């Protein structure tokens, strides 16, 4: 998959932020690393995000899947930003432009809000190993996260399986609605 280099309307603020990535960068792998790093380090204030009645804690959700070929990083933010990055440099930026993706991303964020109490705070945000999943939830108080096996999340044997399945629904919506995916 090729990296998409566009910044749709709802993602313009995130993608245009000079701290997000070097817009002159021609290395897709480096660009994806920078996008991931910014998604995990940006503050809600940087993106003009504030608590809402529906989501008083959560403003972002990130799910990373460890495959033998690399890492897939799904990002959903409260401002509609929805992207899927691959550590090999591919990805879909701006998937939230599609109504079905936006709806799935809202459900992913709602699941993260509903299960935020089950996630401990994290100071480091490493990528998962092969066969493992990392869920990071960006809250107004900080970043929360866990790592679990793909198998236990898939089989609903983990308290955060609902968040995992909501994330996969976003990936499915991206695949069905983005020609790049």
pTM value is: 0.85
- CA distance linking residue 72 with residue 36, whole number of Å: 10
Q: How many domains does the chain have?
A: 1
Q: Which tens digit of pLDDT belongs to each residue from 64-82?
A: 999 999 999 999 999 999 9
Q: Do the Cβ atoms of 134 and 48 come closer than 8 Å?
A: no
**What is the model's pLDDT at position 30?**
84
2 located within any domain: no
**What is the model's pLDDT at position 20?**
46
SS3 (DSSP) at 98 = coil
1 located within any domain: no
Query: pLDDT confidence of 16, banded at 50, 70, 90?
Result: very low
Query: pLDDT confidence of 25, banded at 50, 70, 90?
Result: low
Range of the domain at 91: 9-177
Give the contacts of 168 (CB within 8 A, at least 6 positions apart).
none
113 located within any domain: yes
Q: What is the arithmetic mean of pLDDT over 85-112?
A: 92
Q: Do the Cβ atoms of 122 and 136 come closer than 8 Å?
A: yes
123 located within any domain: yes
- CA distance linking residue 59 with residue 50, whole number of Å: 8
119 located within any domain: yes
What average pLDDT does the structure give for the chain? 87
């Amino acid at each position: 998959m090729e990296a998409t280099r566009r910044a749709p309307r709802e993602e313009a603020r995130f993608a245009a932020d000079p701290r997000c990535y070097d817009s002159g960068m021609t290395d897709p792998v480096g660009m994806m690393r920078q996008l991931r790093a910014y998604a995990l380090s940006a503050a809600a204030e940087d993106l003009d995000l504030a608590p809402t009645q529906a989501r008083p804690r959560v403003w972002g959700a990130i799910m990373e899947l460890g495959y033998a070929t690399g890492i897939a990083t799904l990002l959903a933010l409260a401002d509609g930003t929805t992207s899927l990055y691959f550590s090999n440099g591919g990805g879909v930026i701006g998937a939230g432009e599609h109504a079905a993706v936006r709806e799935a991303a809202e459900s992913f964020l709602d699941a993260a809000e509903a299960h935020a109490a089950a996630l401990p705070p994290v100071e480091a945000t490493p990528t998962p190993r092969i066969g493992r999943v990392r869920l990071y939830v960006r809250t107004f108080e900080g970043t929360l996260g866990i790592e679990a096996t793909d198998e236990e999340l898939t089989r609903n044997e983990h308290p955060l399986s609902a968040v995992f399945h909501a994330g996969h629904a976003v990936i499915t919506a991206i695949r069905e609605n983005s020609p790049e995916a």
